[in-house]
Amino acid sequence: MPRADRQNDQAFKGVNVLVAITGGIACYKSASLVSRLVQSGASVRVVMTQAATHFVTPLTFRTLTGRSVLTNIWDVDDHPESQHIGLARWCHAMLIAPATADIIAKIASGLTDDLVSLTASALPRSPKITPLLLAPSMNSDMWANPIVQGNLATLREILGAHTVGPDDGWQACRTTGEGRMSEPDAIYDALAKIAAAK
């Protein structure tokens, strides 16, 4: 393993990472990312939107993390408080990968009708801001939409959210262009930088 990778792996020792999966074909990349985080010593929990479960099953992530996967607001887990509050307080960092145009718009607008947007809205901001990392994934025309870009600007400027990607390349719509979710290694490295500053 290259030295840089070993240093990044050390960044996850004792770190609680909440990985949120939303409904895009890039969901499949998130499985290898979650596996690497677990192997690096991070404590990982996964939440999914209902749309995400059409691409990858919760069982995949439950198997990789050894923990239950929550998929809706009404799921009951091991937190004495509401699940979204418990998860938001538990994590040292939250990653949304893939981050669709829909979830970006919801968080930027304060809409909370699914577990991912609800949990993101509950991330603590004091005494220290819990970092939020977005890995956007969408069609190139959607990515170029000024409303999407405006929503991302809102998240960066008001919430201090971080982003990684997207990349330029082949997309599920059979075209090429910017909007493809970054590869797991790039997302991992971006998250490691955030985790190192916990």
28, part of any domain: yes
4, part of any domain: no
Q: What is the pLDDT of residues 165-175, one digit of tens each?
A: 887 766 666 67
Q: What is the mean pLDDT of residues 69-77?
A: 81
**What is the pLDDT at residue 107?**
96
Residue 163 neighbours by CB under 8 Å, 6+ apart: 133, 134, 135, 136, 152, 156
163 φ/ψ sector (left φ>0, alpha ψ -120 to 50, else beta) = beta
CA 135 to chain centre: 7
- Does 98 have pLDDT greater than 80? yes
Q: Structurally, how many domains does the chain consist of?
A: 1
59, part of any domain: yes
CA distance 198 to 196: 6
Q: What is the mean pLDDT of residues 77-82?
A: 66
Q: What is the pLDDT of residues 183-193, one digit of tens each?
A: 999 999 999 99
Name which of 198, 195, 188 is nearest 12 in CA terms. 195
Question: Domain residues for 64?
Answer: 9-196
- Does 8 have pLDDT greater than 60? no
Over its C-alpha atoms, the chain yields an Rg (Å, rounded) of 16
CA distance 68 to 2: 32
Residue 107 sits in a domain of what CATH number? 3.40.50.1950
Q: What is the mean pLDDT of residues 65-77?
A: 85
**What is the pLDDT at residue 178?**
74
**What is the pLDDT at residue 180?**
85
End-to-end CA distance of the chain: 24
Average pLDDT, the chain: 88
The lowest-confidence range among 45-59, 80-94, 127-141 is 80-94
Residues forming the active site:
173
